[in-house]
Each structure stands twice: as structure tokens, then as C-alpha cells.
Structure 1
Amino acid sequence: MVVVQMLFSVLNILIKLALNDGMDARVLVAYRFMFAVVFLCPIAFFVERNTRPPLTRKVVLHLFLCGLFGFTINQNLYVLAIKLTSATFVTAIANLTPAATFILVILTRLETLKLRKRAGQAKFVGTLIGMGGAMLLTFYKGPELKLLRRLPRPKLTHITKAHHTHPPSTGNQILGSFLGITSCFSYATWLVIQAKVGEVYPCHYSIAAMVCLFGAIQSTIMAACVERDKEQWRLGLNIRLYSSAYAGLVASGFAFPLLSWCLRKKGPLFIAVFSPLMLIFVAVLSSILLNEALYLGSVLGSILIVGGLYLVLWGKAKEQAEVSKDDDMGRESIPMTATSEMK
């Protein structure tokens, strides 16, 4: 999981470098999923060719929606938010995903809000704290923290063109925050749909390949409608190619199966606990490689978001423990009932 978070951290830095080079955000997302499809489709075909159940219209529709919410909408909003603000800022906002998922499942009545229990109270308070941290990130900047300024800084002028970066304006920061929060809710929608698909179509590689395929088609159509300049679509041996290839081959093709392996070994809560680690990696890498400033408001908002994240995770873990305990008690009562009936 440390390796996974490090791979995703490098992705955020490469995305920002490609955007600083003038690459269109929608084109970058489209190329990412093209590379991911080329990588994942052969793996899915050979690994799961004997275990795949037949595709139904309902499964295809759900996979299309997964590509729409989890990849096309989510990634376009996420990358645009990085363009408007900074990699560290958007990484902090991304930790709102568990809170967004909690809000979504309550609104769709997939779960009930049990405020009389400590677990429900922790999830509710954690969600409020996380959203408060997001608001603090958005509207409070504060003084610059120069602790990371002392670290050595390599020059990246030979990697990108002469696109000068400036601290985000207040308007860009507010708009970027809105896009980042919306991407969290889009990602949460994907999680809900993906869970339903996994129950009826338990083929992880095939699901990832087909969702990437739908995401590539949707993202390419969107990018082609908005960006018709051929120069934006031209890839050479530059940061645009490196970022697109890394995003598709490494961050999607390699990191996602690795993430799935960790998920099977330790479960979703173990995975979610490592999310704030990427925030630390991105903050350090952004300061060293992108010369991004770190402000007090970002640190305080990030602390609140991470604190809210762990409260939500604690509440979810406690709920799962209670459900497991009730199931165990139910199993123990069955033999006793059967014995009394025999008597």
C-alpha cells in the first residue's frame, strides 16, 4: 500500500507537469485510458478467459456507468482541479471520498444513519469535520510555511516549456475546490455501482479493462468535441507522452491490480487507512519538483480532513465488528435450537 500511494503521488506530479507544459486536461485523461486499455485488455483476456460469465445488458449498462462516473467525470474534474490549484491541494480534497460515500449511501438509503450508536455518531461527526476541513482549505490561505523550502530543488526547465506557474487566485481556488469535491462524489457513485457489478460479475481484470474501455471512448469523445487543435493531440518524446503513458500503464494498469490484491488480503478499511500517506508524498514532491508553496490553511484543512477520514473509518469498522458479532451469535443459536427440537 505504501508503494501504491507512492505511485499515485508521482502521477499527480506528472499530471501537473504536463498541464504546466500546456497540455489540455481532457486530452491527458483520454490518453490515460487509451494506454490503460492497451495494457489491461490482453491481461483480462488471458487470465480470465475460462472464468468469465456471459455479459448481460444490465452488466454492460453498469460498466458504462462505472466508466462515466468513476473515470470520465471523476478524472476530468480531478485533473482540472489540479490545473486550477495545486497537486497538494487536490490530494487533500480527495481524502473526502469516504465522507462523500457515506453521504451518498445515506441519501440513496443504502444505509441508515444510526445516531443512537457510537459508530453512527463517529461517521456523522467525521463527515462534518472532513467537510469543514475542505471549507477551510477553500477559503483560508494563511501564511506560507517555509519548512520544505530548505529541501534541494532540481531544475525542470528542460522537461516543460516556458509556462510560468503562479499561486492560484482566490477564484481558481474556490472553483478548483468545487471541482475536487464534485469528483469525490463522482468517485463515490462509482464505488456504489462497482460494488453491485462485482457481485454478479466477479472478474476484476475484465471489469477494469471494460470500464477503462468505456472511459477511453467517453473521454476521447468529450476531448475531441472541446479540443480540435491537432497539436494538442500530438505526442512526442516529452512530458506529455511520459505523463500519459505513466498514468495509463503504471497508475491504472499496474497500480489497480496491486490495489485489488491488497484489498483481497486486508479488506477496504486497511486500504483506506493509507490514503493520507499520499498527501504527505505529494506535499514533499510538489515542493521539491514543482516549487509549490505550502500554506498554513492547507495544513490545517488537511489535518481536519484526515481526522474526519479516520473517524468515518473507525465508525465503519465498529459497525462491521457489531455485524460480525451478531452473525456469530446467530450461528451459535442454531445448533441449540435444533437440539431442543430433537429433545
Structure 2
Amino acid sequence: MGVGGKEMKTVEKVQQVGAMVVAATFLGGNIVLSKVAANDGMPVSIMVAYRWIFATAFLGPIAIVVEWNKRPKMTWGVLLQSFLSALLGGSLFSNMFFKGVVLTSATFATAIYNLIPAMTFVVAVLLRMENMKLHKASGKAKVMGTIVCISGAMLLTFYRGQEVQIWSSKIDLFHLAHPHAQSAHAEGSSGSFALGATLTMISCFCYAVWIVLLARVSKNYPCHYSSTALMSFNGAIQSVVFALCVTRDEAEWKLGWNIRLFVVLFMGILGSGVVVILMTWCANKSGPLFVSIFNPLILVIVALASSLLLSETLHLGSVLGGFVIIIGLYVVLWGKSRDLKDVSSAVPQQVLPKTHSDIVQ
């Protein structure tokens, strides 16, 4: 490869890193802003419904234009798989996860979010879709990384420790927008924290199941934008039905020129639509593992932003637990990278298919 080719390769890699930093920032913004909207009194169910509505409105036209002549025939099987994908990775995950953010803290929920790769490995083993391969270094790494992740989650949940001060002064976004109002959500009791932690854990387990099942969806319908837009559409329908069942006040659905409109537009267009495009592009260029290694960056962004903008108290247990989870995450990802290298070396003449099954949206 000539000098020009190397320079182009370097520029492309820098672009991919930049794209993933932007994607991580938007995903972190989803988590921080969801708590801002909840503090404003917006029900989580309605927030999630609007998120998927705006995500569908953004991704639908893009999917139609980009994959106009590429989409295979739609079947009832694909529709059913899309519905289940939307349930596990869309409406169910979003409602439980963001409710967990409200009841615990943005930093805590994001740290648990990093358990998803380890949970995915456990689900794949339980469903016999992956062998533990304890005789190989990759199998031992994935098992050890999963144990480390679980240990970090336990440390994060059961140990708080002393407060960690990052900023000399803080900004509360809610009180900035409503200087004379009182936040609708104060720091939760131990009971609400336990409920929030449970919801967050279950939501990430649902997401792990979704990632495992998504491999089949990607095989039957290998059009990333169209399948994601279809999933968003199903997720919007499911979320609206759920929101109507749990929230009967019609006034809660009204959006004015306020923080609620900004939050749902951000979550739907930037935090869902643009993120999917950036992650899909990076996964197609460098593979899903490249995308996964940026997950811990979301935790760093959320920890800094929530302590500065939400006046959340950061504890030593959160820092230590998050750090341990990140170590476990990278050990699991190292094991997965060794597996991919083994497969590619065993089938040197084949072009391995790239799916977005490991992308965390």
C-alpha cells in the first residue's frame, strides 16, 4: 500500500472514531435528558412512545431512499421477528431502562448498561447458540469477563461509599428551566432504588436476548436501515399502546416549545436515528467489535454530565463498580475478537457477513 493509501486509511479510521464518539455522546444524552424530562413531570411511558415515533419518522424515509431496490420480500415471519425485536430491544427495554434511570441514577443505570455484552454471552450459551469453549483462551476470557462484570454490578449495587466531588460548582438543568419550581423527583428511597436496579437489570437482560435473536433477523432481512425502521415502527405502536394503558391524562401527551419537546426530539432523531446510521456505518467498515469498545465512553460521559448538569451525587461505589464492569467488558470483547479471528482464519476465502447484532442502540 502506498503512502496515499495509508493516509486515506488513517483518515477513514479517524472518521470512524469521531463517529463513535458522537454516537456515544448522543446515547449518553439520551440517558441524561430522560431524567431531565422525568424531573419536569413527563411520564416515562409517554417519553418512550414519542422517542420511537420520532425515530420512525426520521429513519423511515432514509430506509426507503437508501435501500429502495435492495429490500427482500416481506414475509409474515420477518414481521413477527420484527415485532419481537421491537418488544425486547425497543419498547420493553426502553420503558424499564429509563424508569430505572429515574429511580436510581443516570450513572448507575449506564454502568449496568455495560453488562449487556456479558449477558449476551450467557443468553447465547443458555440457548445453545454459543459454546463456552473452556479449552480455548477465548472461552476462558469470556467466562472470566462475565464473572468480573457481575462482580462489578454487585459492587455497584450494594456499596455506595463516600461522595466523589468532580466539579467545584454544579448546574441543575431542571431548576435552570424552572427557577421557581420544585423537582418532581427527589432522591429515591432504598425501596425505589431497589426497584429501579431490578428494572435496569431486567431491561438489559431483555436487550441481551434481543441481540441474540437479531442475528436471525439480520439473516432473513439483511437491510439494516429498513429493519431498524420497521423495528422502530413496531416499537412506536407498542409504546403508544402501553402509554395509553398506564397514563390516562390526555394533557400529558401535549408538547409545547419546552424541555419535553427538546428531549423527545433529541432521543428520537439524534439519540436513535443518527446513532443507528453512525453505528451501522462503523460496524460495516470495522466490524461490530469496534462499535462495542466505545460502550464505556457512554458511562464516562453520563457520569460527568449527570454530576454537573443534574446535581447527582457520585459515590465511590459507583466509580469502582463501573471500573470493574468496564474491565470485565473488555475481557469479554477480547474473547469475542479471538473467536472472530479463529473463524476468519478457518475460512480464509469467505467474506464473513457483517451484521449489527452487537450494536447497542
Q: TM class by shorter-chain length?
A: over 0.9
The corresponding residue for 1:109 is: 128
Which amino acid in the other structure matches residue 278 of structure 2? L
The corresponding residue for 1:74 is: 93
Q: Is the counterpart of residue 35 in structure 1 residue 54 in structure 2?
A: yes
User: C-alpha distance in 2, partners of 1:274/1:6?
Assistant: 10
The corresponding residue for 2:286 is: 266
- Please give the residue correspondences for 1:111-190 in structure 2 after superposition, counting only pairs within 5 Å: 111-146=130-165, 148-151=166-169, 153=171, 156-160=174-178, 161-163=181-183, 165-190=185-210
Q: Which runs of 5+ in 2 are unaligned?
A: 1-19, 351-361
Which amino acid in the other structure matches residue 322 of structure 2? S
Which amino acid in the other structure matches residue 249 of structure 2? D
User: C-alpha distance in 1, partners of 2:153/2:186?
Assistant: 22
CA gap of 1:22–1:219, structure 2 versus 1, over 3 A, is: same
Partner of 2:334, secondary structure, is helix
Of all paired residues, the percent bearing the same amino acid is 45
User: C-alpha distance in 2, partners of 1:173/1:221?
Assistant: 27
User: C-alpha distance in 1, partners of 2:347/2:57?
Assistant: 44
User: C-alpha distance in 2, partners of 1:108/1:73?
Assistant: 21
What is the CA-CA distance between 1:254 and the residue it aligns to?
Answer: 1.2
* Between 153-162 and 44-53, the greater mean CA deviation after superposition: 153-162
What is the CA-CA distance between 1:151 and the residue it aligns to?
Answer: 4.7
Cα deviations by residue, 1:64-90 (Å, 9 ceiling, x for unpaired): 111110101110111100010111110
CA contact (8 A) 2:174 2:183 kept: no
* Between 209-218 and 191-200, the greater mean CA deviation after superposition: 191-200
The corresponding residue for 1:334 is: none
The corresponding residue for 2:250 is: 230
Cα deviations by residue, 1:139-172 (Å, 9 ceiling, x for unpaired): 11111112x1315536642425521553332222
Which amino acid in the other structure matches residue 264 of structure 1? N
Partner of 1:6, secondary structure, is helix
Which amino acid in the other structure matches residue 177 of structure 2? I
The two structures have a TM-score, normalised by structure 2, of 0.88
What is the CA-CA distance between 1:325 and the residue it aligns to?
Answer: 2.3
Q: How many residue pairs get matched?
A: 329
CA contact (8 A) 1:34 1:216 kept: yes
Cα deviations by residue, 1:199-241 (Å, 9 ceiling, x for unpaired): 1211111111110000000010011011001121111111111
What is the CA-CA distance between 1:176 and the residue it aligns to?
Answer: 1.5
Which amino acid in the other structure matches residue 119 of structure 1? S
User: C-alpha distance in 1, partners of 2:104/2:210?
Assistant: 24
Which amino acid in the other structure matches residue 150 of structure 1? S
User: C-alpha distance in 2, partners of 1:164/1:198?
Assistant: 41
Q: Which runs of 5+ in 1 are unaligned?
A: 332-343
CA contact (8 A) 2:36 2:174 kept: no
User: C-alpha distance in 1, partners of 2:156/2:196?
Assistant: 11
User: C-alpha distance in 1, partners of 2:185/2:73?
Assistant: 50
What is the CA-CA distance between 1:6 and the residue it aligns to?
Answer: 0.8
User: C-alpha distance in 2, partners of 1:202/1:155?
Assistant: 41
Q: Which of 256, 266, 288 lines up with 2:276 in the alignment?
A: 256
The two structures have a TM-score, normalised by structure 1, of 0.92
The corresponding residue for 1:337 is: none
